Amino acid sequence: MALGSACLIKYAEEEHYCPHCKQRLSCCQAPPFHVGDGLGWGSEVMFVCLNDDCPLFANSWQRFEEQYGHSASCRYMKLPGEKTGSPMMVGGKDAFKGCIVDPESVRLQSKRFAREQEAAARLESAAAEKNIEPALYLVLDEAAEVASRKRGAEVLAAIGDLACIDPIRNHKFMNTEIEFLANSAIRQVLAANYRKECPACSEIVKSQAKVCKHCGRELE
């Protein structure tokens, strides 16, 4: 079960310290499986000492090499609710450094998610009122659910408001399918308004214009 963002932020703000080096432990997202015995950690986060100068970490390389003949070390680790932690084997310096829980980014993600939910909930009623805002938001939110973004593109095409064109043109799409749908929505919106885009300056002009009034280019 995924932890709620409020819960994740609460953990990230808890202060725990390493008994070996006295540095504050980093709150990290736990890997899905316990390295070694294949069991889950029973927690989605763990507090880990990521100090490379921590004596436990710095001095364990040699011990592992001597005892087991392979390159590994230990970091001090504590699970939420535990009074004392324990050493956890790591294969390198960078293990866990990529999964530090950053409260600020969790906050941003949950804010984004709330906006997505709100836009998705308003999408159909806004479409009926010819309000492009939720549809446009979904089409431009790369992290939103693909199905809602597709529906957003359909709604934009159906509403036919020229105001959706600039924001789409100014957006760098990461999902090529959505980009394709957004471009086809633009074509439909232009057609519905008897407009076309000038191939030279991208300004919108009347379909029957022979010359672009913005840049002077001759048009077909």
The whole-angstrom separation of Cα 63 and Cα 72 is 9
DSSP string covering 135-196: HHHHHH-TTS-HHHHHHHHHHHHHH--GGGHHHHHT---S-HHHHHHHHHHHHHHHHHTTEE
**Is the Cβ of residue 51 or residue 148 nearer to Zn ion in the bound state?**
51
The whole-angstrom separation of Cα 212 and Cα 214 is 5
118 three-state secondary structure: helix
88 three-state secondary structure: strand
**Is the Cβ of residue 155 or residue 186 nearer to Zn ion in the bound state?**
186
CB of 90 to Zn ion, least distance (A): 12
Q: What is the residue whose two structure tokens read 């609710």?
A: 81
Burial of 159 (0-12, 13-18, 19+ CB in 10 A): buried
CB of 62 to Zn ion, least distance (A): 17
CB of 144 to Zn ion, least distance (A): 33
**Is the Cβ of residue 118 or residue 203 nearer to Zn ion in the bound state?**
203
**CA 29: distance to chain centroid?**
15
CB of 102 to Zn ion, least distance (A): 20
**Is the Cβ of residue 49 or residue 144 nearer to Zn ion in the bound state?**
49
Q: Which residues contact Zn ion by CB under 5 A?
A: 18, 20-21, 49, 51, 54, 198, 200-201, 212, 214-215, 217
CB of 205 to Zn ion, least distance (A): 7
CB of 47 to Zn ion, least distance (A): 11
